[in-house]
Structure 1
Amino acid sequence: MLSKLLMPVIFTGAALFLSGCGPEEKQTSTLKMWVAPNITQETFWGAVIRDWNAIPGNPKIEFTAIPVAGSSEEAIMNALASGTEPDISTNIFIGFATQLAGLGQLTDFSTLEGYDALVNARKMKPFIDAWEINGENNVIPIYVSPIVYWWRGDLLEKLGVDRVPVTYQEVYSLSEKNVAAGGRYSMQVTAGKNWWDRWFDFVPLYYAASGNKPYLKNDRAEFNNPAGLEVLTFIQKMFLNKWSSYDFTAADDPLVTSDVIGAVRGPWDITRYREQYPDILKTIRIGPMLTAAGSAAPATMADSKGLVLFNSSDKKEEAWKFIQWVYSNPKYDVKWLELTNMPPAREDLLTNPLFSGYLNNNPLAKEIISYVNRATPPAATTRTIDVQRSMTQMIERTIFENRSPAQALQTSADDINYTLGK
């Protein structure tokens, strides 16, 4: 998951130098690829590239993890500014892709021969559409991790609750039962205090409440509406009644310590729990994003990253051949799923028999995957940090300043519209 992103003003400084970096300055005989600095993903891409390089006649590919810097985004921008960028990079989230596309750095895949055939072969059209940036398809989405709740089934059972909550009212009732039984907190409602944490609380809850409506549209805040009010009212009530805490940390997982009964966790947590907390993992039950009425199939947010091809590459044809080869071969999506537990960006995961072996052996992951086709990425905006810092301040105003949700929503929407020039 993303931890930091360069501010747009820093991007502007780097952009001053980008026009001087032409393909003639970086010609080599080998394709360069950067991948997420994550041992599991490095293992995956190492195996893929070994297979590719072993095929006679294929141009050789060298891959490395994105260099150590303040963030992957900073490393990539520094490379673009100095003309040392790779041909291909993974680990690109939609906000950063929007910034890179705005600087003219990304290839529009839809202009390349064979693009439609690849989209159809991989069954990824809904995800491609969700990743569209200003009418272009600059990213091949790699994975789509739906944001869902993990609930401790053993703790629910102790309180006489036989199913996971799906409405705000059911969470309120659960919270009251928990306090009456001597407990304190029922849920980790907010994921943290950082701007990126809004991807794991307000944003997915808003998608669920609004029926998958955008929270930004045409560079304007769209969440100051009845759906946004429902979500923020729920969050405020949980804190005002002391049923949640704003001080939970990643280091002290409150779901593991039984300090909460439910919290957002991702498919990437399955391996961690399996290795460190196997007994806890056995108790976990998956639940959807909460809504006021308890929608049968609520929308949620997709934690999703993708692959890009830089316009500066002097080997676009060879790079595109490699990308087509990887994503037209479903065995690599199967391997990705087995290694990372993060669902590949395919709409046939539950119906394609190639994935049956994994799904039959991983029922928890199968439940999470059932949400893939209703998971939408965050807004495609160059001002992700500004937008989500404003959302953080909005939540904090309702918790610590006792501002009404309506007031906090209005203030945040006004701030964002001012920032975006609207």
Structure 2
Amino acid sequence: MRRLFLAFFSFLLLTGCNQEQATNRPLTFWCSNNAGEIAFAKTFTEQWQRNRPDKPLRYQPIPEGQSSEEIILASVVGKTTPDVYANMWQGSVEMYAKAGVLIPLDTLKGFKEFITLRCDSAVIREITSSDGHIYQVPWKVNPIMLMCNTRAVDALRNAQPPYSYARYLDAGRQFKQDKNGDGYVDQWLGYTEVKAIWYERLFNFYPLYLAASNGAPLIANNRAAFNNQYAVEVFRFLQNLYKENYFARERLSATRNPFLAQTIATQFTGPWTVEYVDKFKDPNFEYNTYAMPVPDNHKGPTYTYGDPKNIVIFNTCRDPQAAWEFVKTLIDKPGDLKLMELTNQFPRRRNVDTDPYFAGFLTKNPRLRPFAQQTRYIKGVDNCDVIVEVFDIISQEYEACVIFNKKTPEAAIADAAKAVDVLLMAE
């Protein structure tokens, strides 16, 4: 990501591409381009226009491109950023903060008071940048959990969820089958993407690491902090799942949904899956959602990756205070409830699962209740401007150790930590 930023910047310097901002334009609000969030943006933009005609504002789904991250990067370098962007991956914020292109929100009137009421101190620490300022509004989360075909796993002997590593591996031993009798396994306990792409580790290694370590960081004091028993145990656990053929190595993501086809019995996923499964499942298909598997001696709550997307205000904004006043309408309780109703995603605020204000939604959507309860124990990623490169290094070692069994977990984690330390020292 950082290399891409520098490449874009150099290119635009050479071509002299630098648009002047119109002085009389309305505030612009970019949202995600999925249907639920477009409806959300439309609702709150219209509400703002009715209540604040003195501060015109328009919304726009983020322009199409290979990824939203690349679109935002290009807009930053070209100085064509929106005033407000709601869908910023938390891991990108530190890079943009260090580049000086974001408004420090804690300098705006009312921000600190509002955010302290919405979020607990742990979340506030997590979103605070290395320079002590806050550049992002905690907005929405999608906790990664273990979804199980309950008919399949309940039929197993002494291997029902919630799972320790040993119980999950035992479930895999019992569930895998060669249904065609051709010597090849064609029914597995689970599947998780095997590609050595950094962001795939956010949905297998990283939530398992957080679960094992009670939410420990990957980076601390500008050094790798993951060369520990938890990361080693996670690599060994996943390595065993592949080595024993309990997880499929082949690309099941290119086939009919393997969970609904009952080719696999479990999957690591987020709340976005619920609507899809309910829509396409067979009438007799039953499922439930549980915390991620943990080491056999684990004590305490089970953390996971929350997949947070946050809201930022860019420094091209002519009226940051008005932009913040608009953002507040998105993240007060009515805004958060509307987000849940339109998208099945959860606000990053305290006590979502017990607040009476949201009780009606959870009563109507009991399949989402486990995710709401999990929001108490979630983490984002560390504030590190090269966090993508960190995950890329881990991903290379993951492939060598977990997928291809070419390294021991101890060696793979140690080598990843050494490479990350070299990367951080070069900063």
Regarding TM over 0.5, the answer is yes
> 2:173, 2:160 → 1: CA distance?
16
Q: Given the alignment of the two structures, is residue 226 of structure 1 paired with residue 229 of structure 2, yes or no?
A: yes
SS state of the match for residue 350, structure 1?
A: coil
Normalised by the length of structure 2, the TM-score is 0.90
Aligned partners of 1:23 and 1:314 also within 8 Å: no
SS state of the match for residue 140, structure 2?
A: strand
The aligned amino acid for 2:252 is T
The aligned amino acid for 2:133 is E
Stretch deviating more after TM superposition (89-98 or 281-290)? 281-290
**Quick one: structure 1 residues 417 and 56, their matched pair in 2 at CA, closer, same or farther if it must change by over 3 Å?**
closer
User: Match for residue 302 of structure 2?
Assistant: 298
Q: Given the alignment of the two structures, is residue 265 of structure 1 paired with residue 262 of structure 2, yes or no?
A: no
Instruction: Give percent identity, aligned residues only.
Output: 24
The aligned amino acid for 1:408 is A
User: Match for residue 406 of structure 2?
Assistant: 402
Partner deviation per Cα, 1:312-368 (whole Å, 9 max, x = no partner): 21111211221223323x111111011111110111212221111111111221111
User: Match for residue 241 of structure 2?
Assistant: 238
User: Match for residue 21 of structure 2?
Assistant: 25
SS state of the match for residue 254, structure 1?
A: coil
User: Match for residue 36 of structure 2?
Assistant: 40
Q: Given the alignment of the two structures, is residue 108 of structure 1 paired with residue 101 of structure 2, yes or no?
A: no
Partner deviation per Cα, 1:124-144 (whole Å, 9 max, x = no partner): 554333222212210002112
User: Match for residue 3 of structure 1?
Assistant: none
Q: Given the alignment of the two structures, is residue 365 of structure 1 paired with residue 368 of structure 2, yes or no?
A: yes
SS state of the match for residue 33, structure 1?
A: strand
Pick from 118, 123, 127 the counterpart of residue 123 of structure 2.
127
> 2:37, 2:241 → 1: CA distance?
37
Aligned partners of 2:160 and 2:171 also within 8 Å: no
SS state of the match for residue 418, structure 1?
A: helix
Aligned partners of 1:248 and 1:254 also within 8 Å: no
Q: Give 5+ residue unaligned stretches, structure 2.
A: 180-184
Number of matched residues? Answer: 414
> 2:274, 2:219 → 1: CA distance?
31
The aligned amino acid for 1:237 is N
Partner deviation per Cα, 1:376-415 (whole Å, 9 max, x = no partner): 0022222233222222221221231431111111121122
SS state of the match for residue 164, structure 1?
A: coil
**Quick one: structure 1 residues 21 and 109, their matched pair in 2 at CA, closer, same or farther if it must change by over 3 Å?**
farther
Aligned partners of 1:35 and 1:89 also within 8 Å: yes
Pick from 331, 335, 351 the counterpart of residue 332 of structure 1.
335
Aligned partners of 1:124 and 1:345 also within 8 Å: no
SS state of the match for residue 308, structure 2?
A: strand
Pairwise CA distance, 1:374: 0.9
Superposition pairs of residues 305-344 of structure 1, within 5 angstroms: 305-328=309-332, 330-344=333-347
Pairwise CA distance, 1:147: 1.2
> 1:239, 1:210 → 2: CA distance?
22
The RMSD of aligned alpha carbons is 2.5
Partner deviation per Cα, 1:228-256 (whole Å, 9 max, x = no partner): 11111111111111111232333433222
Q: Give 5+ residue unaligned stretches, structure 1.
A: 1-6
**Quick one: structure 1 residues 131 and 120, their matched pair in 2 at CA, closer, same or farther if it must change by over 3 Å?**
closer
Pick from 186, 191, 200 the counterpart of residue 203 of structure 2.
200
Superposition pairs of residues 140-159 of structure 1, within 5 angstroms: 140-159=137-156
The aligned amino acid for 2:317 is S
**Quick one: structure 1 residues 317 and 224, their matched pair in 2 at CA, closer, same or farther if it must change by over 3 Å?**
same
SS state of the match for residue 314, structure 1?
A: coil
Pick from 153, 160, 164 the counterpart of residue 163 of structure 1.
160
Stretch deviating more after TM superposition (370-379 or 120-129)? 120-129
User: Match for residue 176 of structure 1?
Assistant: 173
